Amino acid sequence: MNACIDREQRGVSIIELMIASTISILVISSVIFAFTSTHRSYKLQSQQRQIQENGQYALEILRHDIRMAGYAASTYVQQQ
Protein backbone atom coordinates (compact mmCIF):
# COMPACT_ATOMS: atom_id res chain seq x y z
CA MET A 1 0.00 0.00 0.00
CA ASN A 2 2.89 2.40 0.68
CA ALA A 3 4.17 1.89 -2.87
CA CYS A 4 0.77 2.91 -4.27
CA ILE A 5 0.62 6.06 -2.12
CA ASP A 6 4.20 7.00 -3.03
CA ARG A 7 3.38 6.90 -6.75
CA GLU A 8 0.28 9.06 -6.37
CA GLN A 9 1.92 11.60 -4.06
CA ARG A 10 5.03 11.90 -6.10
CA GLY A 11 6.01 15.58 -6.66
CA VAL A 12 7.45 17.38 -9.61
CA SER A 13 10.94 16.31 -10.54
CA ILE A 14 13.86 18.71 -11.01
CA ILE A 15 13.89 17.96 -14.75
CA GLU A 16 10.24 18.98 -15.07
CA LEU A 17 10.94 22.18 -13.15
CA MET A 18 13.91 23.01 -15.37
CA ILE A 19 11.87 22.41 -18.53
CA ALA A 20 9.02 24.56 -17.22
CA SER A 21 11.48 27.29 -16.26
CA THR A 22 13.12 27.19 -19.68
CA ILE A 23 9.78 27.43 -21.47
CA SER A 24 8.73 30.31 -19.20
CA ILE A 25 11.97 32.16 -19.88
CA LEU A 26 11.51 31.70 -23.64
CA VAL A 27 7.93 32.98 -23.52
CA ILE A 28 8.84 35.99 -21.38
CA SER A 29 11.84 36.78 -23.61
CA SER A 30 9.71 36.69 -26.74
CA VAL A 31 7.11 38.98 -25.14
CA ILE A 32 9.82 41.45 -24.11
CA PHE A 33 11.35 41.31 -27.59
CA ALA A 34 7.96 41.97 -29.19
CA PHE A 35 7.34 44.90 -26.85
CA THR A 36 10.73 46.52 -27.50
CA SER A 37 10.35 46.00 -31.24
CA THR A 38 6.91 47.60 -31.22
CA HIS A 39 8.19 50.49 -29.11
CA ARG A 40 11.08 51.14 -31.51
CA SER A 41 8.70 51.04 -34.45
CA TYR A 42 6.37 53.51 -32.74
CA LYS A 43 9.25 55.90 -32.03
CA LEU A 44 10.46 55.69 -35.63
CA GLN A 45 6.99 56.34 -37.03
CA SER A 46 6.53 59.24 -34.63
CA GLN A 47 9.79 60.80 -35.79
CA GLN A 48 8.84 60.31 -39.44
CA ARG A 49 5.44 61.90 -38.83
CA GLN A 50 7.13 64.89 -37.17
CA ILE A 51 9.46 65.29 -40.16
CA GLN A 52 6.51 65.17 -42.56
CA GLU A 53 4.60 67.76 -40.54
CA ASN A 54 7.63 70.05 -40.49
CA GLY A 55 8.05 69.62 -44.25
CA GLN A 56 4.39 70.41 -44.89
CA TYR A 57 4.64 73.52 -42.74
CA ALA A 58 7.77 74.66 -44.58
CA LEU A 59 6.09 74.09 -47.95
CA GLU A 60 3.05 76.07 -46.84
CA ILE A 61 5.27 79.00 -45.85
CA LEU A 62 7.12 78.81 -49.18
CA ARG A 63 3.84 78.58 -51.07
CA HIS A 64 2.56 81.68 -49.31
CA ASP A 65 5.80 83.62 -49.88
CA ILE A 66 5.87 82.67 -53.57
CA ARG A 67 2.28 83.79 -54.02
CA MET A 68 3.03 87.09 -52.32
CA ALA A 69 6.26 87.68 -54.27
CA GLY A 70 6.02 90.91 -56.16
CA TYR A 71 2.58 91.75 -54.79
CA ALA A 72 3.70 94.84 -52.88
CA ALA A 73 5.78 96.08 -55.84
CA SER A 74 2.91 95.73 -58.30
CA THR A 75 0.49 97.61 -56.08
CA TYR A 76 3.06 100.35 -55.51
CA VAL A 77 3.54 100.81 -59.26
CA GLN A 78 -0.21 100.96 -59.91
CA GLN A 79 -0.73 103.67 -57.29
CA GLN A 80 1.75 106.08 -58.88
Residue 1 lies in a domain: no
Residue 28 lies in a domain: yes
State pLDDT tens for residues 2-59.
555 555 667 789 999 999 999 999 999 999 999 999 999 999 999 999 999 999 999 9
For residues 49 and 51, give the distance between their C-alpha atoms in angstroms, rounded to a whole number.
Answer: 5
pTM equals 0.57
Tell me the torsion sign for CA atoms 16, 17, 20, 21. negative
Q: Per-residue confidence at 69, pLDDT binned at 50, 70, 90?
A: confident
Q: Residue 40 is part of which domain span?
A: 11-79
Closest CA to 1 of 76, 62, 9, 75: 9
For residues 64 and 68, give the distance between their C-alpha atoms in angstroms, rounded to a whole number.
Answer: 6
Counted domains in the chain: 1
Q: Determine the pLDDT at residue 79.
A: 58
